[in-house]
Amino acid sequence: MRTRPHDDPQRRPLHDEGHARPPARLSAPERIAHLALRIPAEARAAEEGALAALASQHGLPAPAFADGYLWMDCGAFRLKWERHTEFTGLTVFRAIGTEDAADARALDAVPAVWRASLPGTTLVYAEVDVRPGGADDLDAAVAEFGDATVIGARMSDGSGIALTDLRMDDGGCTRFVVLDISLTGRQAGRLVQRLLEIETYRMMALLAFPVARGAGVPLQDAERRLAAITERMVEMRATEESALLDDLLHLAAEVEQRDATTRFRFGAARAYHGLVRQRIAELREERIPGVQTIEEFMERRLAPAMATCESVVRRQEELSARIARAGQLLRTKVEVALERQNQSLLESMNRRARLQLRLQQTVEGLSIAAITYYAAGLTGYLAKAAKSSGVPLDIDLVVAAAIPLIAVALWFVLRRIRRGIDHP
């Protein structure tokens, strides 16, 4: 017997989303390698095929890719695969034993042939060396970075120390060192995950920076053209309205096309920058004397680039708004000119109507005179006929008397006809 309604189809996926992609449990000494790959959609089948082949080589069941997340324990190493909207993350975890060389890397445990078979391009390659240590080991860890400016801090309430220079070595790798003072396995895993996410999201955010720099010249040209169009509108003649409107529409189309092309990239950069700042806050950095914190580095290096992107976004939005206002002004000016033309046309029609009325009245007067003339002639014929019949009539007198009567009668008839037309 059911004690409640059936579960919604989305209940389980939404519930599990909060527990998806947990950080790895780490135990120092351990080394981690992280790759962020930009893989086109048409190459995802090759990506999944490579992962399936790796699982088969190590006797693991065929992986499922629907969740976009995968863990594989291959014995000598563990592999975490994550598919994001714009990139794929591959993280390799390798526990370091006494028999391993001091310079052993996490990727060395992964077959080189398999690594070479991965599709896409590498955007991030970072390695993290998690080792037991404390404040006494800090100077030696800093010295490993040579003359480069070291960035880092005490983290997780002083349970660990993370150091990096955020530079690529000759192999294209960005190195991190984590000194495990009293980190638990989960704490170490979360710390490493945040460091790798900061580096990955930093690079993803910076993808918008070249776009912003490339948009500077076209934006400046568009602003100059808009200023020229606005100046032409001040002294625009009626014959120039069509050409000016075409120029404005062409400029608006160019700006909207550029905005549509860059909108996603700039929006993604804003989101990635927000994630970088959030992950830095989660580190709970405590300053080490003489060492720049990650937050300070990002504020000095990443924030200006993001400010440039935001500036370009604002310029594009303001330019679109200015073009819209210019278009509205031009339409208003054209509408006013059309109203003037319509008013002139109406006045011309009124003049024509008045002339037509005068002409009609003139024609009516002539019509009365003509009809009176013919009616008087008929009256004369009738009078002649009556006189021939013996009626004593003065024909001229009869015709003269009939003329005013006929004219008045015609005037009344035409007046009634006109009233009937004006007031049907």
CA distances to 90, 287, 305 from 294, in Å: 23, 10, 16
Q: C-alpha angle 215/257/210, rounded to 5°?
A: 25
| Residue 185 to residue 284: CA distance in whole angstroms | 18
Q: Which residue has the tokens 């599990």?
A: 16
Cα 102–chain centre separation: 50
Mean pLDDT value of segment 20-37: 88
What HEC string does 65-79 produce? CCCCEEEEECCCCEE
- Smallest Cα–Cα separation from 184: which of 219, 163, 149, 160? 160
Q: C-alpha angle 410/412/416, rounded to 5°?
A: 115
Contact yes or no for 228/325 (Cβ under 8 A): no
What local confidence, expressed as pLDDT, does residue 82 receive? 93
What local confidence, expressed as pLDDT, does residue 290 receive? 85
DSSP state of 36: E
What's the pTM?
Answer: 0.78
Dihedral pair phi/psi, residue 92, rounded to 5°: -110, 130
| Residue 121 to residue 324: CA distance in whole angstroms | 41
Contact yes or no for 93/32 (Cβ under 8 A): yes
| Residue 270 to residue 303: CA distance in whole angstroms | 11
What local confidence, expressed as pLDDT, does residue 356 receive? 79
Q: What is the pLDDT of residues 98-131, one digit of tens each?
A: 787 778 899 999 999 999 999 999 999 999 999 9
What local confidence, expressed as pLDDT, does residue 178 receive? 95
Report whether pLDDT(350) > 60: yes
Mean pLDDT value of segment 146-159: 89
Task: Return the number of other C-beta atoms located less than 10 Å from residue 219's C-beta.
Answer: 19
DSSP E strands in 274-399: the ranges are none
Task: Return the number of other C-beta atoms located less than 10 Å from residue 110's C-beta.
Answer: 19
